[in-house]
Amino acid sequence: MTDWQALQQKSFYEATARERANGIVDAASFTELAGPRDRMSSPHLPALGEAIEFDDGVVTGVGRVGKHPVFVISQEGRFIGGAVGEVHGAKMVGIFQLAQQAYAQLAAKGADSLAERLPAVVISFETGGVRLHEANAGLLAHAEVMDQIQNARGKFPVIALIGSKIGCFGGMGFVAAATDLIIMSELGRLGLTGPEVIEQEMGREEFNASDKALVYRTTGGKHKYIMRDCNQLVEDSIGAFRTALASALQQPYAEIARCRRIGSEALVDEQLALAELSCEIQPQDARDVWAYFGNADAAAIPEQTTADFLRTVRRRP
Amino acid sequence: MTVEMMIGRGREAIDMIVDPGSFQENRIGESEFSPELGPGAVVGEAKLAGRDIVVIANDAEAINERFPVVYFGVIGMEEAYKMAKTVYTVMRQDAEKAAGEKRPLLLIVDTPGNAPGKIEEIFGMNKATGAYQLALAEARRCGHAVVAMVIGRAISGAFLCHGLQADHILSLSPEFGTMIHVMPLTSISRITKLDIERLEQLAENNPVFAAGPDFFYRLGGVDEMVTELEDMPSAINRHIQEIEAAKAAGVADCTGPMYHGKLGEQRGGRMHRRPVIERMTAEFAAVAEQYL
């Protein structure tokens, strides 16, 4: 078995950012760009007495999925929680710019060639958002990434993979929401305000962050799938994420773009109606919402295997 | 010279900036918003130097009865979608107009954060703030001039949501109590275990972590500091003209977040962004034919 085949079996949740980057594209097709050998580490951390990593906590590069060049951003939660500083953020922006360049070059070769080899940006999120040690630069980088996602609209897909330990929170929570297609495992977590921050700001009565089951019910993959805030739910292996990504990229661009939850006036109207529904339901817990959408045995959902869940779940209409 | 705190005074700021009596709340052309919807966000049309503009501001005195975590200028789900809907409404109504005739959008910024609550997380607050940013980025890229004017608090994710997608960003100078940050220095001190004096010393040479509009100016996150309240209308008007001229010249990324990245380098605040992107570009060029 090759290293790449072994990676396919590996838990996405446990995998490092580099393993995920290599494993989600075709075998031996990944080239890392601005990798550790370039030593593009944070210039700001040493002054604050913090250790650095030579990749600044994010693996960036290019691979292939079938004929599609796939530009990959893979965040490493083991380094300062995958948080985004100046260099980390610049690497993200750089990937979008390369995808734009590739798009322009392929478009120049004609429409057929472009459709067949349409580039994509894939982000494997594992982050709490802005890195506080270089918070201002990290914040400004978030704005650039959001602008780059909007700039990709109508050209090439941007796809989110969420299933790693840290989840995807803070500013990166809305970056993920802005992508075209979101693939999660049930272990993935997605939100804006992390559980600890809600508890700290609003009190333990509003949210008990140490209640892991509550955290998963509120932000986990199954909940996001019911709400249609994630488009596909897959098993926890790199191979399962890769298979879902590969089949998505076989779709025409317009089909992938149809998976969006925000990004147009019609979608904002739909989300606004959902916000109004939240007033009507007044849920004490995500389970109340699951029941509202027709899941009679809502309490059983957290215990179900992914396969059983997918067979029986009722999603938001 | 008038120096007074503007925190919590978003509605007054609208009156200080736009032509007297011209602000029509909840009205955008033929469209009208319900006054009950997202009261923490104030939207409407107005005139600035005789020209039609659309204003999006925060109301620190409003309480959203149905979403208890929304008060004191917090942006909740309803507020963010109302703001996004305002932007889409303007784009739709002006779709046929030439770039220089599309109505400018003025964001008056005084917000402490995005709503942190259980219901917000269950229903996906991340989508609400994301939706507003995408709408602003689209409006900016399709020819509307978008100017942000920070009058009070521009904090972390709420500033990303309401401000950082603008073409140009102005801020009242620090004497007005203007706050732009992710975290106050006390919190940075707790996390880094470095005392405040040491952090202040470090911030003199490196603006990446300290709180305050000056640091954002050095990083290119604020285009210009406005030092007199009376100067706000003329400064905003001048920036609208600069933005429209830059866009008419047709240079890519001549405004907005990518432009602010370049500005940050010109001002010596963000020196590592461009070398990283250039290195990636060079390394990709060497392997590109394998992929394209």
The answer to whether the CB atoms of B122 and A87 lie below 8 A apart is no
Mutate which: A71, A73, A150, vs B, most B CBs within 10 A: A150
Strand B31-32 with B27-28, pairing: antiparallel
Between positions 85 and 114 of A, the ones with CB within 8 A of B are 85-87, 89-91, 93-95, 97-98, 101-102, 105-106
Mind listing the pLDDT tens digit for each residue in A190-208? 999 989 888 988 889 889 9
Question: What's residue B3's pLDDT?
Answer: 77
Cβ-based contacts of B219 with chain A (< 8 Å): 136-137, 140
H-run or E-run covering A195: helix A195-202
Task: Please indicate, yes or no, if residue A282 is contained in any of the structural domains.
Answer: no
More confident call, B1 vs B269: B269
Mind listing the pLDDT tens digit for each residue in B94-128? 999 998 999 999 999 999 999 999 999 999 999 99
The 10 Å Cβ neighbour count of residue A228 is 17
Question: What's residue B191's pLDDT?
Answer: 80
Q: How many CA atoms lie within 13 A of A281 on its CB side?
A: 21
Task: Please indicate, yes or no, if residue A107 is contained in any of the structural domains.
Answer: yes
Between positions 45 and 84 of A, the ones with CB within 8 A of B are 47-50, 60, 62, 64, 69
Task: Please indicate, yes or no, if residue A302 is contained in any of the structural domains.
Answer: no
Task: Please indicate, yes or no, if residue A274 is contained in any of the structural domains.
Answer: no
Mind listing the pLDDT tens digit for each residue in B29-58? 999 999 999 999 999 999 999 999 999 999
**A116 close contact with B: CB closer than 8 A:** no
**Residue in this structure with the two tokens 């005195």, named with its chain if needed:** B61
Task: Please indicate, yes or no, if residue A280 is contained in any of the structural domains.
Answer: no
**What distance in Å separates residue B78's CA from the closest CA in chain A?**
7
Looking at the DSSP bridge assignments, the partners of residue B108 are: B57, B149
Please state which of the ranges A83-87, A281-285, B2-6 shows the lowest mean pLDDT.
B2-6
In this complex, the residue of B89, B135, B292 whose CB is nearest that of residue A106 is B292
In this complex, the residue of A90, A140, A227 whose CB is nearest that of residue B124 is A227
Burial B107-117 (b: 16+ CB within 10 A, else e): bbbbbbbbbbb
In this complex, the residue of A44, A91, A173 whose CB is nearest that of residue B280 is A91
Task: Please indicate, yes or no, if residue A167 is contained in any of the structural domains.
Answer: yes
Domains of chain B, first to last: 10-291 (3.90.226.10)
Question: What's residue B114's pLDDT?
Answer: 96
Does residue B290 register a pLDDT over 90?
A: yes
- The full length of chain A comes to 317
**A259 close contact with B: CB closer than 8 A:** no
H-run or E-run covering A72: strand A68-75
Question: What's residue B17's pLDDT?
Answer: 98
Question: What's residue A183's pLDDT?
Answer: 98
Question: What's residue B2's pLDDT?
Answer: 63
Q: Which CATH number is A16's domain given? A: 3.90.226.10
Mind listing the pLDDT tens digit for each residue in A138-163? 999 999 999 999 999 999 999 999 99
Task: Please indicate, yes or no, if residue A291 is contained in any of the structural domains.
Answer: no
At B76, list the tokens: 């909740």
Question: What's residue A312's pLDDT?
Answer: 97
Cβ-based contacts of A93 with chain B (< 8 Å): 258, 261, 273, 277
Between positions 192 and 221 of B, the ones with CB within 8 A of A are 192-194, 202, 206-210, 215-216, 219-221
**What distance in Å separates residue B188's CA from the closest CA in chain A?**
7
The C-alpha atoms of residue B255 and residue A279 are separated, in whole angstroms, by 39
The answer to whether the CB atoms of A140 and B257 lie below 8 A apart is yes
Do residues A33 and B284 touch, judged by C-beta distance below 8 A? yes
| DSSP state letters, A260-299 | -SSSSHHHHHHHHHHHHHHHHH--SSHHHHHHHTT-TTGG
Domain count, chain A: 1
Please state which of the ranges A38-52, A199-213, A243-257 shows the lowest mean pLDDT.
A199-213
The answer to whether the CB atoms of A146 and B133 lie below 8 A apart is yes
Does residue B1 register a pLDDT over 60?
A: no
Mind listing the pLDDT tens digit for each residue in B164-209? 999 999 999 999 999 999 988 888 888 888 899 999 999 888 999 9
**A139 close contact with B: CB closer than 8 A:** yes
Q: Which domain holds residue A33?
A: 3-190+229-262
The C-alpha atoms of residue A252 and residue A286 are separated, in whole angstroms, by 34
In this complex, the residue of A97, A139, A153 whose CB is nearest that of residue B160 is A139
Between positions 164 and 193 of B, the ones with CB within 8 A of A are 164-165, 181-183, 187-188, 191-193
Question: What's residue B118's pLDDT?
Answer: 94
- Find the residue in A nearest to B199 (Cα): A48
Across chain A, what does the average pLDDT equal? 97
Task: Please indicate, yes or no, if residue A99 is contained in any of the structural domains.
Answer: yes
**B290 close contact with A: CB closer than 8 A:** yes
Burial A56-74 (b: 16+ CB within 10 A, else e): bbbbbbbbbbeebbbbbbb
**What distance in Å separates residue B250's CA from the closest CA in chain A?**
16
Q: How would residue B252 be classed by pLDDT, with cut points 50, 70 and 90?
A: confident
The pLDDT of A292-312, averaged and rounded, is 97
Cβ-based contacts of A140 with chain B (< 8 Å): 164, 216, 219-221, 257, 260-261, 264, 270
The C-alpha atoms of residue A273 and residue A266 are separated, in whole angstroms, by 11
Between positions 24 and 63 of B, the ones with CB within 8 A of A are none
The C-alpha atoms of residue B96 and residue A199 are separated, in whole angstroms, by 48
Between positions 265 and 294 of A, the ones with CB within 8 A of B are 265, 267-269, 271-272, 274-275, 278-279, 282-283, 286, 289
Question: What's residue A2's pLDDT?
Answer: 86
Question: What's residue B209's pLDDT?
Answer: 92
Question: What's residue A8's pLDDT?
Answer: 98
The answer to whether the CB atoms of B270 and A140 lie below 8 A apart is yes
The C-alpha atoms of residue A76 and residue A56 are separated, in whole angstroms, by 9
| DSSP state letters, B207-259 | TTS--SHHHHHHTTS-SEEE--GGGHHHHHHHHHHHHHHHHHTT-TTSSHHHH
Count of A–B CB contacts within 8 Å?
Answer: 286
